Amino acid sequence: MSNAVRRHHQSAYLLLTLSSLLWASNWIVGRGLSGEIPPMALTFFRWLCAIVMLAPFAWPRVRRDWPRIRAHWRILLVMGSVGVGVHNALAYLGLNYTTATNGVILNSFIPVMIVTFSWAFLGERLSRIQLCGVLVSFIGVMTILSHGSLAALAGFKLNAGDLFIVVSMALWSAYSILLRRRPAGIDTLAFLFVIAVIGDCCVLPLYVGETLLGHPMRWTLQNAGAIAVLALFSSIFAYIFWNRGVAEVGASVAGLFMNLMPVFGVILAWVFLDERLAAFHIAGIGLILAGIFITSRHAVIIAPAGAEH
């Protein structure tokens, strides 16, 4: 592997790690707001706020790249609907009926889903040693989330909220592999702006229906601030980082970094909430990092994407 390609891979791993950190925070905030902001309202206004933030920077690039955007409107329509609109709406809806712990457990199945979808639809395959890395990392996730107890893991049960999250995770996995089909020549910010607009348009009728059914958005300074923070970090920065990381190393390897979410959740809770850091946390974090190292170390080289404007 050349030094240039190695640097690109290392940069991609950093971006994927930051994405997981931002999305770990998103799940915590989303669960905390589940009684304050209805799920469709949270999804709609989070992305509406992100669109407003992006517009001054993205709109000139959208106008410049419009011929390419118009030529590839079908794939952009699918990616915006799946990766922004329906995926986020189902995740927040599920968090109204299940715990954040269950949500993170189910989120840990994303790497398996991505590997399966990549094999089925793109013909991508991981080597045996990479699959071992996926397994090691997955065991680490289960170690953390079960508190090192097989009895606790055996007692895990699905409810309606969990099923919503399972579908949401499947849609996110589909979006991740679709990034390999992202149209060339469309700027990063222009691409994110377009799929954000498409996704928010998909959520709009759901938000209107939710309001008409007696669940209106309650505006407070705290709720508005939370939406703005989610828009900037979990919508704009996290998506840019993730899209770039997947372009560099592929969906199968990138998906493994989603297992860092429970790691960051544990560490953030220890630092900011004064929750106890137990031995099973340390063991699980070690296994997750070992699995990521094994899989990324033996990743198939993907040529660095061209420079973006």
Rounded Cα distance, 94 and 7, in Å: 39
**What is the structure's pLDDT at 269?**
66
Residues 73 and 194: beta-carbon distance below 8 Å: no
Q: How many CB atoms lie within 10 A of CB 121?
A: 13
pLDDT, tens digit, 9 for 90 and up, residues 234-284: 999 999 999 988 888 887 788 878 878 877 877 776 776 566 777 877 887
Across the range 52-71, mean pLDDT stands at: 96
- More confidently predicted of 208 and 141: 208
Locus of tokens 């989120």:
107
Q: Mean pLDDT, the chain, as a whole number?
A: 81
Q: Is the pLDDT of residue 158 over 90?
A: no
Q: Is the pLDDT of residue 76 over 50?
A: yes
Across the range 186-203, mean pLDDT stands at: 95
Every domain of the chain and the residues it spans: 3-297
| Sequence-ordered list of residues with C-beta below 8 angstroms from that of 33, at least 6 positions apart, any chain | 42, 223, 226
This prediction has a pTM of 0.78
Residues 18 and 241: beta-carbon distance below 8 Å: yes
Q: Is the pLDDT of residue 8 over 60?
A: no
If 0-12 CB within 10 Å is exposed, 13-18 middle and 19+ buried, where does residue 120 land? exposed
